[in-house]
């Protein structure tokens, strides 16, 4: 198979990919920007641990509940709790230098969770009160203590989903790639049609229509014979 045939096949494939995949990416971008479809706020979570108000739990390290490094969501029950009434303090592990850092969790709203969520394991309804996505301690939280008026039980979960900034970034990336794919798909389609029209032109007409007898391209002699 000649290189030209391989190239034509690749161009034809890209036309399909560009004109079908491009609009699909734009739909993904629209869903991300509007927080709908797969980007809609979640109504269910899977809690990793429950603890009482004033109780200190170990979220990472030896004897911890196994939360991975990074931010997580703090929940409170009953679901009627006012998130503004909840405060949480954190401590780091004791480092080899003997230092142990501590601080207050700076509250950040859980943007990818609904106002009331249900634990997929127990069926208990919780109110997302804050995430640990801001502040210097979000990577250092190894021990956590929370308190709040009217709170009966606290819980932590990694099922926080995407933040609004992450959704916006994903939407922008999908939109850019979608537009690029559509534009290149139309360019490939235009070049394919142009090449096809050139191949269908008869050789004797390639330089223009026949002129009068004895003159011009493709001219006939006066006796009617070439």
pTM (predicted TM-score): 0.62
Q: What is the pLDDT of residue 195?
A: 62
User: What's the whole-number average pLDDT of the chain?
Assistant: 80
Note the pLDDT tens digit of each residue in 92-107. 888 889 899 999 998 8
Which has more confidence, 163 or 125?
125
Q: What is the pLDDT of residue 152?
A: 95
Q: What is the pLDDT of residue 196?
A: 58
Q: What is the pLDDT of residue 169?
A: 83
Note the pLDDT tens digit of each residue in 75-98. 999 999 999 999 999 998 888 898
Q: What is the pLDDT of residue 60?
A: 85
Q: What is the pLDDT of residue 198?
A: 55
Q: What is the pLDDT of residue 1?
A: 54
Least confident of 160-169, 171-180, 206-215: 206-215
SS3 of the chain: CCHHHHHHHHHHHHHHHHHHHHHHHHHHHHHHHHCCHHHCCEEEECCCEEECCCCEEECCCCCCCCCCCCCCEEEEECCCCCHHHEEEEEECCCCCCCCCCEEECCCECCCCEEEEEEECCCCCEEEEEEECCCCCCCCCCCEEEEEECCCCEEEEECCCCCCHHHHHHHHHHHHHHHHHHHHHHHHHHHHHHHHHHHHHCCHHHCCCCCCCCCCCCCCCCCCCCC
């Amino acid at each position: 198979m000649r290189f030209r045939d391989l190239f034509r096949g690749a161009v034809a494939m890209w036309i399909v990919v560009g004109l079908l995949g491009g609009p699909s990416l734009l739909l993904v971008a629209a869903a991300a920007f509007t927080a709908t479809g797969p980007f809609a706020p979640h109504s269910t979570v899977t809690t990793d641990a429950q603890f009482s108000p004033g109780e200190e739990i170990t979220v990472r390290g030896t004897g911890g509940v196994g939360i991975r490094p990074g931010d997580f969501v703090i929940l409170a029950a009953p679901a009627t709790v006012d998130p503004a009434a909840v405060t949480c303090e954190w401590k780091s592990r004791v480092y080899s230098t003997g230092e142990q850092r501590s601080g207050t969790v700076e509250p950040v709203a859980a943007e990818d969770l609904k106002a009331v969520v249900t634990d997929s394991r127990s069926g208990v309804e919780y109110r997302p009160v804050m995430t640990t996505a801001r502040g210097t301690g979000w990577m250092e939280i190894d021990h956590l203590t929370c308190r709040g008026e009217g709170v009966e039980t606290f819980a932590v979960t990694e099922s926080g989903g995407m933040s609004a900034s992450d959704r916006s970034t994903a939407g922008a990336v999908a939109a850019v790639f979608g537009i690029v794919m559509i534009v290149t798909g139309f360019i490939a389609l235009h070049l394919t049609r142009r090449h096809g029209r050139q191949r269908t032109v008869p050789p004797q007409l390639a330089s223009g229509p026949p002129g009068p007898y004895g003159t011009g391209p493709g001219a006939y002699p006066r006796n009617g014979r070439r």
